[in-house]
Amino acid sequence: MGGALEPRDRRGLILPKWLPPALLLLPAALVFGGLFVWPQLGLFATSVASPPPIGFATYQRFLGDSFYVAVLVRTLSLGACVTLVCLICGFPLAFFLARLESRWVPFLIMIVSFPLWVSAVVRSFAWMVLLLRNGLVSIWLRDAGLAPAGFQLMYSFAGIVIALAQVLLPLMVITLYAVIKGIDRDLENAAMNLGASPGRAVCLVTLRLARGGIFAGSLLVFSLSISAFATPSLVGGATAQLMAVAIYEQTLEINDWPFAATISAILLAIALSVALVYGRLIDGRNVPVR
Amino acid sequence: MTITSLRHPFGIFLWLMVALVMVYILAPLAVIVASSFGTTGYVAFPPQGFTLRWYEQALANPRYVNGFLTSLRIAAIVTVVSSAIGIAAAYALVRYEFPGSRLIESLFISPLVLPGLVLAVALTIFFSRNPIATGTDRLILAHLTICVPCVLRVVIPVLQRFDRSIEEAAQNLGASPVKAFFLVTLPVIRPGIFAAAALAFVMSFDEVEMSVFLASPREQPLTVALYSAVQLAFDPTLAAVSSILIMITFAIMVVHQVVSRIRSAR
């Protein structure tokens, strides 16, 4: 029986066995093939069509121009910085939530993941208010003597890192929480009973066992931060030298679609290779949402 | 001695870190809500005075009201269509074992891990060459590419956990497979379907990149209206619109929590 829809209609007509699943999959396949694969192929075709019919002039232009190579490097280092901040902030919180014995834990997780449900534009706007010259964070930094007069974090690399890390932090926390929850807390207790201080026990046992999850969470955050658009373009301004902002500039402002397609294809290739490594590490079903 | 207790230095360090990180995660949203009540003509934090003027202005501004309604309409259509497509595909992938079903599953989910901006650029080129849809319909089609995978990812594990012997029992009692699905399977997996639909709705409602590229200029979704307005000026009306969105989202989350608590208590 198999419990599946039996390939037989009311009149007893026997349908081929493959027909019901094929029909059920058809709409999703149309969306995937027609609105995802086909447009991506079109994008790639556009990127390798200058000069027509086939040419790599736009790739040569990208790789030959030190400005765009710097944009690529800057984007990758933004990804690295955001990932680092998310790890440093995310691990203690995830560890705390996984080890806290309280009925408040589901509520705390809800609070932590709440920002994920709010549009990136709204969250970026909040950071713009805080990072501008007369914003609270910029004033604090100046008052603490850490920054010169007139300094503002808005439109700066550090500002983008601060805002983007906050946007992606809940994802890191949710990923790490699931991983740490899966590590038996008795292992830490055993290490502590054997004389290790709590901090040492966490470093020697938990951190080591959570390695795979830490790596997976880092790849997820890295991939999302190099491809993020709304936050970098708002906090970093329209001239932020990042791949996503450059793509936007080349399309809607300069109207150079072949070049935009090239930058997109390069960004896509990086994101795709990160995603492939990530997919090997974690079963697609455990991926936290967004 | 538990590791989260405050009786050793590590515990104190942990609580301190947790407090700081929680502030980091939540403060920006609190700042926006607080500053939306300030009386200054620009968004300032800490806010001065108290007024509801910016809310009045936000609700009187057709740009935001229409944007909100447009986003609502797009998200509603996308939610219904992507749920139907996603549930059908999830059912086929879980119930029928066929070679390559795992591969198809990961392929169908893959659009979620790719840059939204790249998808938006690709779809813009695609629609300019193949004018299969116009205006807001293009954005709805675009949102399907990310919302269908999203539904799949939530519904597939739910279907896998579903005890299929209940479905078989219904069929043995004479229900047709389709009837068994709608009368037995669907009611049981309903919470999972709601979760998937809610997620698809939020994804469509909050989405920025595709909306910026594909939205019809006459029918701008709210995120596009906000995105362009935020770049121009620090109008407190924007803080009011943002706060309304934050508060609606928060209310929905609280209601959802309470409802699921009551459900599980029963």
pLDDT value at position A277?
80
**Within the 54-93 window of chain A, which residues sit less than 8 Å (CB to CB) from chain B?**
89-90, 92-93
Which range marks the domain in which residue B235 is found? 64-265
Q: How confident is the model at residue A13 (pLDDT cuts 50, 70, 90)?
A: low
More confident residue, B112 or B150: B150
Flag whether B125 is in a domain.
yes
Which residues of chain A make contact with B32, given a CB cutoff of 8 A?
A: 122, 125-126, 129
Tell whether A137 is within 8 A of chain B (Cβ).
no
Flag whether B13 is in a domain.
no
CA–CA distance, B67 with B226 (Å, rounded to integer): 9
DSSP bridge pairs for A55: A49
CA–CA distance, A267 with A247 (Å, rounded to integer): 10
- Choose the closest CB to A24 out of B91, B110, B205: B91
Can you give the residue ranges of every domain in chain A?
1-47, 65-286
Flag whether B26 is in a domain.
no
pLDDT value at position A282?
60
CA–CA distance, A150 with A134 (Å, rounded to integer): 9
Which residues of chain B make contact with A99, given a CB cutoff of 8 A?
A: 2-4
More confident residue, B222 or A102: B222
Which residues of chain A make contact with B165, given a CB cutoff of 8 A?
A: 3
Closest chain A residue by Cα to residue B34: A126
* Contact of A182 with A150, CB cutoff 8 Å: no
- Choose the closest CB to B29 out of A36, A126, A271: A126
Q: What percent of chain A has pLDDT over 70?
A: 91
pLDDT value at position B225?
92
Return the CATH architecture of domain A65-286. Orthogonal Bundle (1.10)
Q: What percent of chain A has pLDDT over 90?
A: 40
Q: Output B61-67 pairs: Cβ under 8 A, ≥24 positions apart.
A: B61/B237, B63/B220, B63/B225, B63/B229, B64/B222, B64/B225, B64/B226, B64/B237, B64/B241, B66/B219, B66/B220, B67/B220, B67/B221, B67/B222, B67/B223, B67/B224, B67/B225, B67/B226
Q: How confident is the model at residue A68 (pLDDT cuts 50, 70, 90)?
A: very high
CB atoms within 10 A of CB A212: 11
pLDDT value at position B70?
95
How many angstroms separate the Cα of A98 from the Cα of each of A176, B20, B212, B263? 9, 18, 39, 24
- Choose the closest CB to B3 out of A188, A220, A244: A188
CA–CA distance, A287 with A271 (Å, rounded to integer): 16
A89 min Cα distance to partner chain B (Å): 6
Q: Which two tokens stand for residue B62?
A: 């057709």
Flag whether B116 is in a domain.
yes
More confident residue, A8 or B99: B99
pLDDT value at position A1?
42
pLDDT value at position B266?
62
* Contact of B168 with A3, CB cutoff 8 Å: yes
* Contact of B189 with B155, CB cutoff 8 Å: yes
* Contact of A24 with B88, CB cutoff 8 Å: yes
CA–CA distance, A258 with A56 (Å, rounded to integer): 10
Flag whether B6 is in a domain.
no
CA–CA distance, B266 with B248 (Å, rounded to integer): 27
Flag whether B93 is in a domain.
yes
pLDDT value at position B169?
87
Flag whether B202 is in a domain.
yes
More confident residue, B58 or A136: B58
pLDDT in tens, B26-77: 999 998 999 889 888 777 777 788 888 899 989 999 999 999 999 999 999 9
Identify the DSSP state of A6.
P
Q: How confident is the model at residue A185 (pLDDT cuts 50, 70, 90)?
A: confident
DSSP bridge pairs for A14: A8
Closest chain B residue by Cα to residue A222: B113
pLDDT in tens, A73-84: 999 999 999 999
* Contact of B194 with B259, CB cutoff 8 Å: no
pLDDT in tens, A145-175: 787 777 888 888 999 999 999 999 999 999 9
* Total tally of structural domains belonging to chain B: 1
Strands (E), B95-167: none
For residue A286, pLDDT over 60 is answered with no
Q: What percent of chain B has pLDDT over 90?
A: 44
For residue B183, pLDDT over 90 is answered with no
CA–CA distance, A133 with A110 (Å, rounded to integer): 33
Q: Which amino acid is at A276?
A: L
- Whether the upstream peptide bond of residue A106 has omega within 30° of 0, thus cis, is no
Closest chain A residue by Cα to residue B27: A126
For residue A2, pLDDT over 50 is answered with no
- Choose the closest CB to A42 out of B108, B125, B178: B125
Flag whether B56 is in a domain.
no
